[in-house]
Amino acid sequence: MTFREFVSDRMNRMIIQTVFAAAASAFLLSTGTQPGILLLLLIFFLLITTAIYLSDFLRQRARLQKLAAVLDGLDQKYLFTECVPPPDSLYERKLFELMRRCGRDMIGTVSHAQAGQKEYREYIESWVHEIKTPITAAQLICRNVDGETRRKLSHELAQIQAHVQRALFYARAESPEKDFIVRRASLSKIVSRSIQNHRALLIHSGMRIETDHLEQTVYTDDKWACFIIGQLLQNAARYQREDPVVTIRAHASVQQVVLTVSDNGIGIPAHELPRVFDRGYTGSNGRARGGSTGMGLYLCRRLADVLEIDIGIESAQQQGTCVSLAFPASFDKLSQDVPEKSDS
């Protein structure tokens, strides 16, 4: 709060006091008070009033600075009313009690919402683990089915498994610190696992995979990184053209290892590129081909931010799409706090 704001807030009171002083001066002059005495009285009144206003300004500014410091020091801002020191004046105390009642109601609402969110997340994780059993059983049954039917069923089961996996990672993304561990990992193994996880989808779509220079070491959570690369492979298969090819290559710099996943698919319109990482955004390609949820790239960005992976995308219509993932190549602080993961 500035002094100008303080004066502006009390302008009406100052005007009333000025009018009162003028009226009192006129009355005293009419009763025969000498002008010199009246001038001294006015000077005294001005000094007293100025001292009161200045003291009030300094007190309120100090109070606001103290409250701002308390608020800045809180991670959960809604606990502000429970942490601030009580005010001095009666009016502020009454106002403070009303604010505290509102704050406690909000705290109860937030706690209830967090508990419900936690229960929902636990239910989703439990459901995902339970649904994997019938999916695995169905995949085993498919082995006894002939030719084309087997291929089609395997493809649909792979799609179901991909949706289930996406639901699991979406639930975990709400509190990622409880699930991921950043460690030293082999990039080639992460990519191989991603390809293997989506083998049925890639075979069904006739996708050819080309890899280059993947013998790199990165610092990441291999499970989450595998999921991110898997989403990119799914998008390449969904938005493919004739003779589909995905090229996965890596190159190292001083601080990062950049992995690029490029396809020769239908590409993304230039005006849609800024929004492809938005939650639920499907774009014209997703609406035209159907089956898109708009969650794949959103989750990629969400998880990449947690893992400190710089993710970027380039695309041109009818020419293909290239997504880059810049992994940390070294992590000095991590090497002290987290044990390295074995390559075996």
pTM beyond 0.75, yes or no? no
Written as one letter, the residue type at 285 is N
Residues 287-310: tens digit of each pLDDT? 877 667 788 888 899 889 888 899
Grade residue 108 by pLDDT with cuts at 50, 70 and 90. confident
Measured distance between the N- and C-terminal CA atoms of the chain, rounded to whole angstroms: 62
The CA–CA distances, whole Å, from 8 to 13, 14, 223, 255 equal 10, 10, 59, 54
Domains, the chain: 180-337 (3.30.565.10)
Token reading at 333: 């602080």
* CB within 8 Å of 278: residues ≥ 6 apart: 294, 298
Answer with the residue of higher pLDDT: 159 or 260.
260
Mean of pLDDT values over 239-249? 91
Give 181's DSSP letter: -
DSSP alpha helix (H) spans, the chain: 3-9, 11-30, 35-72, 80-83, 90-142, 147-172, 187-197, 199-205, 222-238, 283-289, 296-306, 332-337
User: What is the C-alpha to C-alpha distance for residues 331 and 309, in angstroms, rounded to an integer?
Assistant: 13
Write down the pLDDT at residue 175. Answer: 67
